[in-house]
Structure 1
């Protein structure tokens, strides 16, 4: 399900167990990222699903650069039975705090 940045911020602020999943490349992640996000590049995601919890209490909030990869990743997670997955598109439209790494 696609949601906007404001909705994501509300989830993050109210649920400290929420997982912010960055599906970009390590190079993109080093340039700019959302604080406390977890990096699993899209091309590695299917092989690394075991690193993510399948819990209704831990929503997975997926982003990339512009929204294409995050949509693919969210669909993959839902196919594999992850109960609460939100695609919030790209970091290019994220108006809140970011960091360089």
Structure 2
């Protein structure tokens, strides 16, 4: 029993520290919820596609931060306040999940992922 106890404690510590805790997760929302937030709140709409994709059409007011460039410095240039409400999208919803998780890991606390522009039923500008 004495041999098992340290391993049990270590296991509980590792399990407790892995996964998404406060400040290290994001919320997935519908496109309708995202549009409502855009219309009623101060939000940062973040497009995490590449420059050519952004140039071919994006959600009005969206700022570009390609998922492959997300790090502490680049994120801070686009999202200076870690408690800003950030709505994240890409083309189909895969990169936006990766980007949202990366931003949450950097300490951003109000991240909402809403999928891809390929199913966005609202206005798009180029």
TM-score w.r.t. length of structure 2: 0.74
Count of residues in correspondence between the two structures = 97
Aligned ranges 1:1-101 → 2 under 5 Å? 1-15=27-41, 17-46=42-71, 47-51=73-77, 52=79, 53-55=81-83, 58-100=84-126
C-alpha distance in structure 1 between counterparts of 2:45 and 2:33, whole Å? 13
Q: Deviations over 1:42-82 (max 9, x none)?
A: 11111412121212xx3100000000000000001111111
Gaps of 5+ in 1: none
C-alpha distance in structure 1 between counterparts of 2:87 and 2:61, whole Å? 12
C-alpha distance in structure 2 between counterparts of 1:20 and 1:50, whole Å? 14
Local SS of the residue matching 1:61: strand
C-alpha distance in structure 2 between counterparts of 1:92 and 1:39, whole Å? 16
Larger Rg, first or second structure (1 or 2): 2
Could you say what the CA RMSD is over the residues aligned between the two structures, in angstroms? 0.9
Q: How far apart are 1:18 and its partner, in Å? A: 0.1
Gaps of 5+ in 2: 1-26
- Runs of 4 or more above 3 Å deviation: none
C-alpha distance in structure 1 between counterparts of 2:28 and 2:54, whole Å? 21
C-alpha distance in structure 2 between counterparts of 1:79 and 1:45, whole Å? 11
